[in-house]
Amino acid sequence: MRKLILSTIIIAFSFISYAQNNSIFDKFEDYDDVTTVVVTQKAFQMLKKISNDSKEGREFNALVSGLKDLKVFTTDNAKIAKEMQATFTKHIKNAKLSELMRVKDKDANVKIYIREGKDDDHVSEFLMLVDEMAVSAHKGRNPEVVIISLSGNIDLKNISKLTKEMNISGGKHLKKAEK
């Protein structure tokens, strides 16, 4: 009986731990028409070790310090884009994220939400939706929907720098949001 109870507890903790490490957006990794980039905390730690020798390396270390993960999901498939948008909307409501800002221009509609962090300059979750499908000017390319998710102890001042340094799709819209 003890073995059964102990086994059940171990399985339950494993499931809870697994669920906490996955986001609601991870299901999109399995979709053929979704490009996914996932950078884990271990990868950030490794990058910090090898990029410490130069000024740029130290600046990069400051950017990624405190990040748990970075996830980017991109699609130009209209059906999947609608599902991604619905999942985004559901998550911000369920997770009780606060709207940071919205930007609408001729290139895209951008929505940014956060979960507050340890102080006014930091957040524990940063979530951005870039919707190029809602606008008409695409200049010969397929419009995309991009979700960028960051978690950890995130310095808001460094987010646009990080997306630029890592050449993340949708990151150019953060520069507009700063203005």
**Could you state, in order of their start, the residue ranges of all structural domains in the chain?**
23-178
Per-residue burial over 99-137, b = 16 or more CB atoms within 10 Å of its CB, e = otherwise: eeeebeeebbbbbbbbbebeeeebbbbbbbbbbbbeeee
pLDDT at residue 172 in the model: 55
Distance CA 131, CA 117 (A): 26
Q: Which two tokens stand for residue 9?
A: 């507890």
What pLDDT, on a 0 to 100 scale, did the predictor assign at position 118?
83
**pLDDT value for 139:** 62
Which parts of the chain have pLDDT scores under 70? 1-22, 51-53, 136-141, 159-179
Q: What is the model's pLDDT at position 20?
A: 41
Q: Residue 138 has what pLDDT?
A: 56
Q: Identify the pLDDT of residue 21.
A: 45
CB atoms within 10 A of CB 48: 17
What pLDDT shows up at residue 83?
94
pLDDT at 51: 61
Global pTM? Answer: 0.73
Q: Which pLDDT score is estimated for 49?
A: 72
